[in-house]
Structure 1
Amino acid sequence: MRPNRRLFLIGGGATAAAAVFAERTFARPRAAAATTSIEVTAKPIDHLSSTDPGRSRFGNLLFRGGLDLRSPDSRFGGFSALWRSPDGARIVSVADNAQWLTARVKTSDGRLSGLTEAKLAPLLHEDGRPLGRTGYYDTESLAIDNGVAYVGIERKHAIMRFGWGTSGMAARGSLVTLPETIRGEIKNLPNNRSLEAIGVAPSRSPLAGAVVTIAERSGGLEEPTRGFIVTGPRTGAFSVRRSYGYDISDLAFLPSGEMLLLERQFSIFEGFRIRIRRVAADAIKPDAIVDGAVIFESDSSHQIDNMEGLAVHQEAGETVLTLISDDNFSRFQRTLLLEFALVA
């Protein structure tokens, strides 16, 4: 979440005192100095709707359960992206203070029940320094494919690759060279609304193996935002239509090559809302204007927060979507892990 929205959470930031309070309240803690095991407790979320607890289907999604996650470690939180292993057993997340989270997922009777073996660690620059001590500290998006982790970084408008398969959290990041044709446009994205979503196109996509990233909001309130095909033979820029004030929060590819877009909005009166759109595989190409059908949209009765991360995996013949929220290291928000099955 962005600083201006943080001010809304305490009444709009109408005075200088409120602004100072907001910055102090939502200050990011420094990432762990080294790999650190932490305790994480989980309160089950058995129903998504607080007014209709028996309801399980929402649009094209079936709610499978969720967790309200907490830790006594003050560095736990701020999770802005999510990856889940193909077997669903492990998660990896990055927080927006350049910190990794890894954990094993516990289930009971087919529902999420907790996290074990949770660890925090700093993301490392190629020179061995924690990214939090460099200009590349604002880590916002994550994709892991074929043993390589790609992390999108705001403010610097950069992508780093990490040898996750060989080194895990000890991997050192190196900058991905941006194609000349799109480098200038990426570097001129808004300072605090840039590379919020990233993914690697699967083998069945026309862009198979390409890294794709989308800016949170590159223009005005209702203007399309820009997306970029960063690697592969079909590099270039495209636009993503926006509406109703939703900003891009994350993306994830389905095995079919279709792309899911996680979007969010915030208002003083309604709080957080999210929606998910489904984009055809062949729609993502240079110079295209991309849109997609809404398959899920939350309402005020739903147990959500600032949902920023989206992961997809296959489980027992089902396509499972997992979402994580960024609590901005605030006691007024929650770290939620929500799980859905795609039913259509």
Structure 2
Amino acid sequence: MRRKRLLLTLCVALGLAPGTFVRTPMPEPDFSSGLTLTDLALEEVQIGPFALEGAWHLTSENDHFGGYSALLYRPDGRLLAGSDAGRLLSLTPPDEGDSKAVFGAFPNAENRDKRDVDLEAMTQDTEGGTLWAAYERSNAIDRHADFTQVGERATPNEMALWSEFSGPEAMARLADGRFIVLAEQRTRFGGDSHEGLLFPSDPLTGAEPLVFQLATPDEMRPVDMVPVPDGRVLILLRNYDLLPWPSWHVVIAVADPGEIEEGENWPIEVFARLDAPIPPDNYEGIALKQRADGACDIWLISDDNFSLFQRTLLLKLSWADCF
């Protein structure tokens, strides 16, 4: 009996901790797999001023893939998504034919501390030659002239006390060169405001920002922002309910930077609520393409948080009167 117990104990130990006895080599990183886009074939519906024109589910085995929290429409006609691991995905909009993806990363992203690569927002100048990226864990803003070299970094004093888990979440460069940065963190316990900074110029020049507040509806948090051709900005807001069952709630709001006043709440207007038939998920990136006909294409991407229970979704909305 004693020998049987000993044998049983050994079997249990082997089952619970196989790595102690058998070392399985870790698989090599996969940086070669491509991107698969599955058309969700949703019905076309009107969502506030926006018309839903397309929705796609993105999947890939590539180790650069996933976690997208920022999105840009680049002057070369491609979408650029940035992840909270400092990785990049460039692709032609899927409704324009060949949407072959190019995976990449900001220089040395795989070797840097998580605090230095937790990218949450991106913005660019008018020509797209310079790109700025905001990082949540380090409360920093990087400036990149291209993607082949590590960018310059600024850590503005006004962002120093922002939570490392809810810091700069939305950022936009306006046409006149000013920058708006919004914190995901609420300014007080149970409050409905978020701190915002309006920089008179590039934050990396040391310019001192004006500090204001952003009050949001329904306990929503700002997660991304994009300039509109008429001078306003679209702000992507979302929150999450755990009970009675897990669910995401996402809205697109509009605001006028001309109404920002120091220490005051910046007024916003909710434009659209992303309800059914739009699939609910953690949408964190918004981009805008200005069309020659006076309309705009609005692109949204969701952050799957590298979770099996979430998806990377890409949405296309059309806005007929954006300028």
TM-score, normalized by the shorter chain, greater than 0.5: yes
Alignment of 1:103-182 (within 5 A): 103-107=91-95, 115-116=99-100, 118-124=101-107, 130=110, 132-133=112-113, 135-145=115-125, 146=127, 147-164=129-146, 169-176=147-154, 178=156
Matched residue SS, 1:107:
helix
CA distance in 2, matches of 1:173, 1:231: 21
1:335/1:175 CA distance change after superposition, 3 Å? same
Does the Cα contact within 8 Å between 2:303 and 2:312 map onto a contact in 1? yes
Does the 8 A contact of 1:81 with 1:94 survive in 2?
A: yes
Is the CA contact 1:197–1:250 (under 8 Å) kept in the aligned structure 2?
A: yes
How far does residue 175 in structure 1 lie from its aligned partner after superposition? 0.9
Inter-CA distance 283–69: structure 2 relative to 1 (3 Å threshold)? same
Distance 2:133 2:51 in 1: 29
Quick one: structure 1 residues 135 and 272, their matched pair in 2 at CA, closer, same or farther if it must change by over 3 Å?
Answer: closer
1:188 and 1:281 map into 2 onto residues whose CA distance is 24
Q: For residue 302 of structure 1, report the CA deviation from its aligned partner.
A: 2.6
Is the Cα–Cα contact under 8 Å of residues 115 and 136 in structure 2 kept in the other structure? no
Amino acid at match of 1:303: P
Percent of aligned pairs sharing the same letter? 24
Partner of 1:198: 171
- Closer, same or farther in 2 for the Cα pair 1:114/1:245, shift >3 Å? farther
Bigger radius of gyration among the two? 2
Per-residue deviation, 1:72 = 2.1
> 1:234 touches 1:285 (CA, 8 Å); kept in 2?
no
Asked if the contact 2:224–2:286 (Cα under 8 Å) also holds between the matched residues in 1, the reply is yes
**What is the distance in 1 between the residues matched to 2:197 and 2:254?**
18
Map of 1:253 onto structure 2: 227
SS of corresponding position for 1:282: helix
- Answer whether contact 1:60 1:295 (CA < 8 A) is retained: yes
Q: Deviations over 1:306-337 (max 9, x none)?
A: 10000111124211110001001112111111
TM-fit CA distance, 1:156: 1.1
Residue aligned with 2:218, SS = coil
The runs of 5 or more residues in structure 2 that have no matched partner are: 1-28, 202-206
Task: Give the alignment's TM-score, normalised by structure 1.
Answer: 0.75
The aligned amino acid for 1:328 is N
Aligned length: 282
Report 1 or 2 for greater relative contact order, CA contacts < 8 Å, sequence distance ≥ 6: 1
| Pair 1:270–1:59, CA change in 2 (3 A) | farther
